[in-house]
Structure 1
Amino acid sequence: MSMPTIRHIRALTIRGGGADYHDQGSGHWIDDHIATPMARYPEYRQSRQSFGINVLGTLVIEIEASDGTVGFAVTTGGEIGAFIVERHLARFIEGQLATDIEKMWDQMYYATLYYGRKGVVLNAISGVDLALWDLLGKIRQEPVHQLLGGKVREELQFYATGARPDLAKEMGFIGGKLPLQHGPAEQEDGLHRNLEKLAEMRSRVGPDFWLMYDCWMSLDLPYATKLAHRAQEFGLKWIEECLPPDDYWGYAQLRRNVPRDMLVTTGEHEATRWGFRMLLEMECCDIIQPDVGWCGGITELLKISALADARGVLVIPHGSSVYSYHFVTTRHNSPFAEFLMMAPDADRIVPMFAPLLLDEPVPANGRMKVPDTPGFGVRLNPDVRTQRPYSR
């Protein structure tokens, strides 16, 4: 059978949940007084949506092959990402063989180098790349994990990110990652409240359950160092993304500063093999956390993972649902995965990208077998209203 070529690519947008998981209604834990780089301004401290964390919305990429097969993927990028895909990236995709993913990635990246490299441009490239892998899996009638070389483990185990690690323990997760609520602008009182919250959760979950703090780029080096040392008595397993993503020097120093048995993790907002090479060569962290929908897609994540594997550093992707599950199940240096608790009160398990995807798998008792359905194994929900703002 001859390999189909790509006939058409479409970029769609939606609002409310989906891949832009910060785009939630009021009262959701994910927007409730979480420390951010903008928390230095009191008017932007209570809600992350107040400074625009949800302005982009979800980007959906559909790619149709000459035999009628359609692959798709979702990421964050909204209308800006849709413009980049339709008006710039499409020329490198349409007419190509569905197998030529490496070439298409290379052309998208180098063609956008003068205004891209990271951020929304890489989100858009990532979305296209994931849709290409989904398409190829459907053409070959194989799950993406098989295209990547096959599973090295039959079952994934998860930690949960959300406001209620105590409930996550009851649901069978191996650990719980809390959002840090108070940053340097709230001084010693805020630090005390962070430690109180950690102490409360440790008393609820017992001594052996993992507890971590997600600091979302909100701290400076002195505050992060102080938090790490004062959190040591409560058994904090790791301290995550404390500093701005470009402060490689700060991360390297923080890793030297923290208690010996505490891990430093970061990489959620890093992109490409070159960004992660900096983190690895400067020994900035113990675990890297690329988001496959933001770092460059599966094609780039494979390169990032190889760099980390050569240095003995774990790769635990940030969120990203099925798009990371198919990767994690094929890699020895990705021994567990993250699950974002997207119920408003973090008190029950719901699909991470609901309501956007159908057949999206969720953990049961903290574990999951990645489905063997072709592609990434999910469908776009036809009841979700999409728009195509830049049709050609």
Structure 2
Amino acid sequence: MSMPTIKQIRAYTVRGGGADYHDQGEGHWIDSQISTPMSKYPDYRMTRRSFGLNVLGTLVVEVEASDGTVGFGVTTAGEIGAFIVEKHLARFVEGQRVTDIEKIWDQMFHATLFYGRKGVVLNTISGVDLALWDLLGKIRDEPVHALLGGPVRDELQFYATGARPDLAQKMGFIGGKMPLKHGPAEGDAGLEKNLAQLADMRERVGDDFWLMFDCWMSLDLDYATRLAQGAKAHGLKWIEEALPPDDYWGYAALKKSVPAGMLVTTGEHEATRWGFRMLLEMGCCDIIQPDVGWCGGVTELVKISALADAHNTLVVPHGSSVYSYHFVVTRTNSPFAEFLMMAPQADEVVPMFNPLLLDEPVPENGRMRASKLDAPGFGVRLNPDSTLARPYTH
């Protein structure tokens, strides 16, 4: 059969959960006191919403083929991303064959170099790319993982990110990653509180359960080193995103200074093969953690993963639900996946992008059969009850 072309691309925004999972109501653990780059300012220390973490909202990108098939992707770029899609990127998408994903990506990236390269522009490109892969899977009646070469294992296993690793252990996860609460501005007292939290959680879960700290770009090299050294006694498996994303030199030094056996991980807020090339060639970390909705989409994640494989570095994508699961299940250097606990108290397993997506699979006892991902495309649907807005057209 002849391959359909792309008739139209549309960009929508939506508030309240979804890809912008920080856009939550009051009382959610994800907006509690968590160490951030803004924690140096007391006015912005107690919640992340106070400095605007949820201002963007979710971007939904739809691509409609000439035969009427519609694919979609979601990311965090909000109205800014919707403008970029409708007013700039549409020209590189519409009229192309559904299979022209590589060319479309290359044109979108190079056409936005003068104002893009990373950040919200790459989030937007990622959202378009996810929509294109979803569309291609639906046209071919295959899951995205089949388009990527097929599963290399029968099931995925997960660690959980959230405020209660002890509860995650009871739910069958292989480990729990806690948000670090106190940053350098709170001095030695804050550091001791962080270590006390870790010690308490270690006592709750025992010696055989992974415990990790998510530091969310908030530390300096000295503080991160002292935290890692102090955490050795409590069996911390890894220290994550301890430094600002551009401090490659700091990460290289941290990796050399942490206790033997402790891993350094980062990359959630890195983008493109060039950004990850810096992390890999400079020996910055043991695991890279690209977010498929931010790093450039599936098209770029495949290239990032190949670079990591050549450097004997694991790829464990930042939690992004089905958009990363379809990738992880096809890669031998992605041995497990992240699941973000989006229940307000981190006390139950709920779909990560709830309420935006329908048919979103979740782990059962910390695992997921590969067959759960066998629906065409990414296998999820937009919730028709979600209030989508299309702020721009073209």
TM-score by length of 2: 0.99
**2-side partners of 1:260 and 1:111: how far apart?**
44
Aligned residue in 1 for 2:236: 236
Paired amino acid for 2:237? K
Aligned residue in 1 for 2:381: 379
**Is 1:362 matched with 2:362?**
yes
Aligned residue in 2 for 1:84: 84
**2-side partners of 1:84 and 1:181: how far apart?**
35
**2-side partners of 1:207 and 1:68: how far apart?**
54
Aligned residue in 1 for 2:259: 259
Residue 39 of structure 1 aligns to a residue whose secondary structure is coil
**2-side partners of 1:369 and 1:352: how far apart?**
17
Q: Which residues in structure 2 correspond to 1:35-54 (within 5 Å)? A: 35-54=35-54
Q: Which residues in structure 2 correspond to 1:106-125 (within 5 Å)? A: 106-125=106-125
Residue 12 of structure 1 aligns to a residue whose secondary structure is strand
Paired amino acid for 1:372? D
Q: CA deviation at 1:102?
A: 0.2
Give unmatched runs, 5+ long, in structure 2.
none
Aligned residue in 2 for 1:31: 31
Q: Which residues in structure 2 correspond to 1:147-186 (within 5 Å)? A: 147-186=147-186
**2-side partners of 1:180 and 1:31: how far apart?**
12
Residue 55 of structure 1 aligns to a residue whose secondary structure is coil
Q: Deviations over 1:258-278 (max 9, x none)?
A: 001100000000000000000
Q: Deviations over 1:160-189 (max 9, x none)?
A: 000000000000000000000000000011
**2-side partners of 1:326 and 1:261: how far apart?**
29
Q: CA deviation at 1:129?
A: 0.3
Paired amino acid for 1:374? P
Q: Deviations over 1:298-323 (max 9, x none)?
A: 00000000000011100000011000
Give unmatched runs, 5+ long, in structure 1.
none
**Is 1:391 matched with 2:393?**
yes
Paired amino acid for 1:301? L
Q: Deviations over 1:106-143 (max 9, x none)?
A: 00000000000000000000000000000000000000
The share of aligned pairs that are identical, in percent, is 78
Q: Deviations over 1:58-102 (max 9, x none)?
A: 000000000000000100000000000000000000000000000
Aligned residue in 2 for 1:305: 305
**2-side partners of 1:343 and 1:71: how far apart?**
28
Q: CA deviation at 1:391?
A: 1.5
**1-side partners of 2:337 and 2:72: how far apart?**
23
**Is 1:11 matched with 2:11?**
yes
Aligned residue in 2 for 1:98: 98
Paired amino acid for 1:194? N
Paired amino acid for 1:347? D
Residue 253 of structure 1 aligns to a residue whose secondary structure is helix
**2-side partners of 1:310 and 1:192: how far apart?**
39
**Is 1:282 matched with 2:282?**
yes
**2-side partners of 1:346 and 1:186: how far apart?**
26
Aligned residue in 2 for 1:187: 187
Aligned residue in 2 for 1:211: 211
Q: CA deviation at 1:369?
A: 1.8
**2-side partners of 1:154 and 1:126: how far apart?**
27
Q: CA deviation at 1:199?
A: 0.5
Write out the 4+ residue segments of structure 1 that deviate beyond 4 Å after TM superposition.
Answer: none
**2-side partners of 1:372 and 1:354: how far apart?**
20
